Amino acid sequence: MSYRDAAAIKRALSSHTWAVVGLTRHEYRSAHGVAAFLQDNGIRIVPVNPLAESVLGEDGYAHLHDIDFPIDVVDIFRRSDKAGQHVDEAIAIGARCVWLQLGVVDEQAAERAQDAGLAVVMDACPVIEWPRYGARR
């Protein structure tokens, strides 16, 4: 099954609040650049990392379940073998979508999310998809 469906991508990119799992202060990491891009395009980013670091002016959280407001999209910057636990957390917190970044593939986790009613985008990058599907803010 393909998890690069145009409807799922549009749904994610038109969402307002993204939890970015794996986002830290390290500017050289892909997560930082993607989060900055999303923020520059009007999306609220929420850093999620074990140190609960604040990044790009937003308070950080150690875990998804520590966030006390609704999250639209959970964007996962973790190795494929770690992604499933974050997909399950996204389901548990009631996120609307999970986005697994380029190179992050977990078919079983994607299927669980889809079965739970979440839109799923996998092995893709929002910066790359934005020109075709991004919201016009």
Does any domain span residue 127? no
Contact call for residues 73 and 129 (beta carbons, < 8 A)? no
Does any domain span residue 3? no
Residues near 1 by Cβ (< 8 Å), separated by ≥ 6?
Answer: 107, 110, 111
Report the pLDDT value the prediction gives residue 136, as an integer from 0 to 100.
56
Can you give the residue range of the structural domain that contains 72? 23-117
Does any domain span residue 133? no
Does any domain span residue 17? no
pTM greater than the 0.85 cutoff: yes
Does any domain span residue 33? yes
Q: Mind listing the pLDDT tens digit for each residue in 59-113?
A: 999 999 999 999 999 999 999 999 999 999 999 999 999 999 999 999 999 999 9
Closest residue by Cα to residue 90 from 119, 54, 124? 119
Residue whose pair of structure tokens reads 């499933």 in the numeric block: 84
How many distinct structural domains can be found in the chain?
1
Report the pLDDT value the prediction gives residue 99, as an integer from 0 to 100.
98
Does any domain span residue 1? no
Does any domain span residue 4? no
Does any domain span residue 45? yes
β-bridge partners, 99:
75, 121
- Quote the tokens at residue 63: 């875990």
Closest residue by Cα to residue 89 from 69, 65, 105, 70? 65
Of the ranges 60-64, 116-120, 123-127, 129-133, which one carries the lowest mean pLDDT score? 129-133
Q: CATH number, domain at 45?
A: 3.40.50.720
Helices (H), ranges, the chain: 6-13, 30-40, 80-93, 107-115, 126-133
Q: Mind listing the pLDDT tens digit for each residue in 5-48?
A: 899 999 999 999 999 999 999 999 999 999 999 999 999 999 99
Coil/strand/helix, residue 129: helix
